[in-house]
Structure 1
Amino acid sequence: MCRMNHGRSMPLKVCCMTMRMSIDCNACCRKLRRIILNMKEIETHLIEKPHSRVSVCGRLRPSDVAIKLRKKMNRRVEILEIEELDSGDEHVEQNPPVTQHNELRTPMNGHQVHPSNVHTQ
């Protein structure tokens, strides 16, 4: 049976991926860390043990990383988010605009100042 090299020669894009997997104990966390450090395509990683989340960034193919982790850890891996980054530009996370609430401040004498009661001279 002949297998084709499906685009593995072309350069991979930089992307960040967040996965969920069961990280029960410190030994599981150490094993996962060792596996990630030995994967040359991963540049940075973050293991969030309390939330059972793993985030990795680098020039990688997300499905390949998830399959490799599933096989080596012998655990189910759920991909939560994949984010492709531009190679030349810094990544700016898209957050919804923050709405600011104007609070009514109480002056030192205890009376509230309402915007409708303020007179300009």
Structure 2
Amino acid sequence: MEGQAYCMVMRVNLDCNSCCRKMRRNILNMKEIEKHLIEKQENRVSVCGRFKPADVAIKLRKKMKRRVEILEIGEVVTHYEAQEEAPIIDRYIH
């Protein structure tokens, strides 16, 4: 997988259950998205994975034929990257 890991929250008008099913189907077909959460009541969709946020929003806008508004984008530090940055301390008890 290429690129930085992001978690993105978008606002999409999801009127009915069929809109939610269509959104879920489109998200599952995108290989770069690892996790997703669809909140129908709040009209919010959250996705996490290794992708370019603008590209995912554009793809969803074209497939859903609805306006997609990006509310929040956050970088995710993977477990491997967190281990790299953490200092290693060795202590010997005599």
Bucket of the pairwise TM-score, normalised by the shorter protein: 0.7 to 0.9
Tell me the amino acid that sits aligned with residue 82 of structure 2: D
Please, which runs of 5 or more residues in structure 1 have no aligned partner? 1-9, 91-121
Q: TM-score, normalised by structure 1?
A: 0.64
Distance 1:70 1:89 in 2: 33
For residues 40-55 of structure 1, the aligned pairs below 5 Å read 40-55=31-46
Partner Cα separation in structure 1 for residue 23 and residue 82 of structure 2:
30
Unmatched tracts of structure 2, length 5 or more = 84-94
Percent identity reads 67
Task: State the distance in 2 between where 1:74 and 1:66 align.
Answer: 12
RMSD of Structure 2 on Structure 1 (CA): 1.6
Distance 1:56 1:48 in 2: 11
- Correspondence 1:34-113 to 2 at 5 A: 34-87=25-78, 88-89=81-82
**More helix as a share of residues:** 2
Instruction: Between 79-88 and 55-64, report the one with greater CA deviation.
Output: 79-88
TM score, norm. by length of structure 2: 0.82
- Give the paired residue count: 81
| Letter in structure 2 aligned against 1:89 | A
More strand by share: 2
Q: Which portions of structure 1, spanning 4 or more consecutive aligned residues, are displaced by more than 2 angstroms?
A: 87-90
Superposed CA offset, 1:62-116 (max 9, x none):
00000000000000000000001123239xxxxxxxxxxxxxxxxxxxxxxxxxx
